Amino acid sequence: MPPTFRDLKRLCERDHWSLVRSADYWSYEKVLDDGRVLRTKVSRALHREIPRGLWERILKQQLQIAEEKFWRRAR
C-alpha cells in the first residue's frame, strides 16, 4: 500500500519533528544528535498517495530512513 501524506505527517508528529512552517503545506525539521538537520514538506492533501518516485526521494534525502523503519514509526 503506497504511503499517503497523512502517513508522512503522522511520522513527523510521532518522531518529534518540529513544525517550522504552516502555509500551503506543513514544513517539518529534525535536528539529529550529530548536528545535521533533516527537513521535509507535507502536503495538506492528506488523503493523497505519495507518488513512488517522490516517495523514494523523501525516504532517502529528507527522512534518511528505510521504508520498513518508516512504517514501524508511522503506524
Grid coordinates representing 36? 545535521
Residue by residue, DSSP assigns 23-59 as: SSEEEEEEE-TTS-EEEEEEES-TTSBPPHHHHHHII
Residue by residue, DSSP assigns 49-60 as: BPPHHHHHHIII
Tell if the pTM clears 0.85, that is, is over it: yes
pLDDT surpasses 90 at 28: yes
What does the pLDDT look like over 42-70, one tens digit per residue?
999 999 999 999 999 999 999 999 999 99
pLDDT surpasses 90 at 75: no
The pLDDT > 90 percentage for the chain reads 96
pLDDT interval class at 1 (50, 70, 90): confident
